[in-house]
Structure 1
Amino acid sequence: MGESNWYVVHTYSGYENKVKADLEKTIENRKLHDQILEVAVPLEEVVEIKNGVKKTSQKKMFPGYVLINMIMNDDTWYVVRNTRGVTGFVGPGSKPVPLSEEEMYHMGISHGEVQVDFEEGDNVAVISGVWEGTVGTIQSINQSKQSVTIHVDMFGRETPVELNFTEVRKL
């Protein structure tokens, strides 16, 4: 089948999240989960002080670029290349070049499995992001995406929410 690697895709400026959403929808529709494993728009926390008020916000680390963990073949290349907003893969000519281990390390991406101190069924508190302060029960853990799915109570209904490992803490 081939090994998955991280590739960098150039997008129109400001289209990074739209490209990510469109690609994830295409992966779902074409059942490409086993070939395109993750689509990421790397963000970094930035602390700004405006009018004497300290505010933390998320900024794109690489505006105009999206990272994709995928197995490169004709199908996946075609899907990514023909996503609206994508101008092309980063690499010489039309040949995409995967990121090296060193480049991935500097971006905070690692291939190894992350050890976590929680498992399915555990109650966790959300410690950052839009769901901060929420408590939920882990329904599933996705090691390749480094995420957990928890159920939160929204408008009186149990709603599944996918969160990064770094956003939750075991209770």
Structure 2
Amino acid sequence: MADFIEEKDASEIQSAADPALNDEVAITEAVAEATESEVSAASETGDVETAPVEPEAPASVRDDALWYVAHTYSGYENKVKQTLEQIVQNRNLQDFIQEIEVPVEEVVEIKEGKKKTSLRKIFPGYVLIKMVLNDDIWYIVRNTRGVTGFVGPNSKPVPLQDEELAMMGVKTDWVPDVDYEVGDSVKIISGPLESFMGSVEEINFEKKKVRLMVSMFGRETPVELDFTQVMRL
């Protein structure tokens, strides 16, 4: 204890005897405080150079997925769709099961003089699935409640062609040959207005739609259809 007191007294005596040393210490502390203040202010204004943050790379989507058709029990189409979507989310299978569709079409009915529009399944008992087919994905889809199999020989899944997808209402890059023009008379060959006649009013190649004027209930009514639903007379 006596040694510590003696060392402290000696230090105080040396500091008192050397005012230059005291000035140097004070300057050093002042510079340190100023530097900390500048860094803090620069951080708030964004002037401090920091290591650049690399943006996250976008998630890659596999381009080898194809469309397949699964059989379901009648009335289970939407339930199968919802169940598969939940499985995809829970297991992070977005790259392997990319889209699930239950094709529907608008149906116009006249009841008690009032027009009523509703949606009707185009292919009851079927669900379209865009997926990367392997043993694991096959097992997941096949064992989903409500699924009874796949469309294909011996229930072996066979991918759909673009033309088939377009006829089912699925958007594709495929553009069918159109052999009719504006003003031509055509016949509707599929859908709720099958067998109706009409005249072509507009052809939209971007949307792959054709607008017809069809005689319904004694008056001309505009109707928009897919290219594949119309045939030239």
Alignment of 1:87-106 (within 5 A): 87-106=148-167
Does residue 67 in structure 1 map to residue 128 in structure 2?
Answer: yes
Instruction: Give the alignment partner of residue 109 of structure 2, picking from 35, 48, 58.
Output: 48
The CA distance in 2 between the partners of 1:102 and 1:18, in whole Å, is 27
Report sequence identity in percent.
65
* Count of residue pairs the alignment pairs up: 112
The CA distance in 1 between the partners of 2:97 and 2:67, in whole Å, is 10
Superposition TM-score, scaled by structure 1 size: 0.62
The Cα offsets for residues 122-143 of structure 1, whole Å up to 9 and x where unpaired, read as xxxxxxxxxxxxxxxxxxxxxx
Matched residue, 1:3: 64
The CA distance in 1 between the partners of 2:122 and 2:141, in whole Å, is 21
Shift of 1:109: 2.1
The CA distance in 1 between the partners of 2:119 and 2:155, in whole Å, is 32
Contact 2:166 2:172 in 1 (8 A): no
Matched residue, 1:27: 88
Q: Secondary structure at the match of 1:49?
A: strand
The CA distance in 2 between the partners of 1:61 and 1:94, in whole Å, is 21
Gaps of 5+ in 1: 113-171
Which amino acid letter does the alignment assign opposite residue 122 of structure 2?
A: M
The CA distance in 2 between the partners of 1:91 and 1:77, in whole Å, is 13
Matched residue, 1:82: 143
Superposition TM-score, scaled by structure 2 size: 0.46
Greater Cα radius of gyration, structure 1 or 2: 2
For the aligned residue pairs, the C-alpha RMSD in angstroms reads 1.3
Matched residue, 1:109: 170
Greater RCO (CA < 8 Å, at least 6 residues apart): 1
Identify, as 1 or 2, the structure richer in strand. 1
Q: Secondary structure at the match of 2:154?
A: coil
The Cα offsets for residues 59-115 of structure 1, whole Å up to 9 and x where unpaired, read as 001001000011111111111000000000110113100101111122232344xxx
Alignment of 1:140-155 (within 5 A): none
Which amino acid letter does the alignment assign opposite residue 95 of structure 1?
A: K
Q: Secondary structure at the match of 1:8?
A: strand
